[in-house]
Amino acid sequence: MSDVKKVVLAYSGGLDTSVIVKWLQEEYNCEVVTFTADLGQGEEVEPARAKAQALGIKEIYIEDLREEFVRDFVFPMFRANTIYEGEYLLGTSIARPLIAKRLIEIANETGADAISHGATGKGNDQVRFELGAYALKPGVKVIAPWREWDLTSRETLMAYCEEHKIPVDFSTKKKKSPYSMDANLLHISYEGDQLEDPWTEAEADMWRWSVSPEEAPDEATYIEIGYEKGDPVSLNGEALSPATMLETLNKIGGENGIGRVDIVENRFVGMKARGCYETPGGTIMMRAHRAIESITLDREAMHLKDEMMPRYAKIIYNGFWWSEERRMMQALIDTSQEHVNGTVRLKLYKGNVSVVGRQSPNSLFDSSVATFEDDAGAYDQKDAAGFIKLNALRMRIAAQKGRGFLDNDK
């Protein structure tokens, strides 16, 4: 007899999670609460209500979390210019801590003693969901069906549906993509099928959010993004909410062929995996944020942030958003953004994002010092001689003691 009385399931309404609902009811003999999040995935989430009701679910949560997602997760991450392994803008990774948070909050609201998810035992998402859950509710029980059951393919899932009379019309009417896909306001990802061969080029019709750079307009698009304390707040002079900002930049970027990447990444569980991602709005925001920081951040503050970023990216990718170290790093990052205010002008053209202008009331750029013309004494070039000699002192001493590079060649 299971000790689980009620479980909150992260429910998409698709085949896998519909099977999980029935499986939880059968295997654990427990009440199931479903939670469906609208993170801007571009598909209707309300139909999940009827599907859950058809499975006998009485407590159904369907929530629009788009603004919270961008404001409290994407924007803080982008203040750090976060990129994992040089290319991945962490679109899936950053959504998981929010879902974990709401799973736990709903468990507390409904008196549930367990949560459940549909992530497989091979991927990163199981880690992200569960690390978040344990950080927020240490004693919660987590049920991961893919690590327990013997349903190992779409065919076995369909057979289970037939046996248990689970309606699956909703998953078979539309042509199913051969790829495993995940989408939210920040990105859409593609894995599986022919992408499992890292030598094979992705099919042209796989991409959904962007045109190919070759098919993008022949005329460049210019935009201006306004920043306050490191966050984008206006587009071409119009104030936009966080979610609207990202949604609008996705559209503009996608029309200009921006944001496609094809990478092989290192998963936390140990394997390498090939994935393709479309992140048009995020790619634009990343470039713009670095541009506004370039004139508002002190050199050493900027370099310290850059040194921290790979660690911060790994923390998010591996699922440690709710950790003490991430919170400590976030405090430092956010402090650095106090004066990151101003406007960046960008040129979008056939997959490229070019910075063509930046200005700020907090700019540290001093043209009277940096000029190649007469600086009227603002900078004394003679000072550079002593500066160079002092920086060379340790190397000069080493060379005098026989440790020079030319000495070693003898």
Distance from CA of residue 361 to its chain's centroid?
30
Does residue 171 have a known ligand-binding role?
no
Task: Give the Cα separation of 374 and 65 in Å (integer).
Answer: 55
The span from the CA of 345 to the CA of 360, in Å, is 12
Residue 319 among known ligand-binding residues: no
Distance CA 114, CA 27 (A): 14
12 assigned ligand-binding residue = yes
Q: Which of 38, 66, 79, 96 is catalytic?
A: 96
Is residue 313 a known part of a binding site?
Answer: no
298 is in an annotated binding site: no
Active site residue 177: no
**Residue 44: CB atoms within 10 Å:** 9
Query: How do 6-10 and 31-38 pair as beta strands?
Result: parallel
366 is in an annotated binding site: no
189 annotated among ligand-binding-site residues? yes
Please check if 270 is assigned to a binding site.
Answer: no
**How far is 113 from 133, CA to CA, in rounded Å?**
12
Distances (CA, A) of 264 to 195, 197, 370: 10, 10, 42
Catalytic residue (one of 66, 79, 125, 358): 125
Q: Which of 16, 72, 262, 334 is catalytic?
A: 16
Residue 42 annotated in ligand binding: no
Helix (H) or strand (E) segment spanning residue 114? strand 114-116
124 is in an annotated binding site: yes
Catalytic site includes residue 125: yes
Q: Identity (one letter) of the amino acid at 394?
A: R
DSSP-derived 3-state class of residue 97 = helix
Question: Which phi and psi (to 5°) does residue 226 adopt?
Answer: -95, 140
15 marked as binding residue: yes
180 marked as part of a ligand binding site: yes
Strand runs labelled E in 16-140: 31-38, 60-64, 114-116
354 is catalytic: no
Q: Which of 49, 71, 180, 234 is catalytic?
A: 180
Nearest to 364 by CA among 292, 290, 291, 298: 298
CA separation for the pair 53, 35 (Å, rounded): 13
**Is 14 flagged in the annotation as binding?**
yes
Annotated binding residue at 88? yes
Rounded distance between C-alpha atoms, residue 309 and residue 151, angstroms:
40
Is 134 annotated in a binding site? The answer is no
Q: Which residue numbers belong to the known binding site for L-aspartate?
A: 120, 124-125
Q: Which residue numbers belong to the known binding site for ATP?
A: 10-18, 37, 118
Q: Which residue numbers belong to the known binding site for L-citrulline?
A: 88, 93, 124, 128, 180, 189, 265, 277
Active site residues: 16, 96, 125, 180
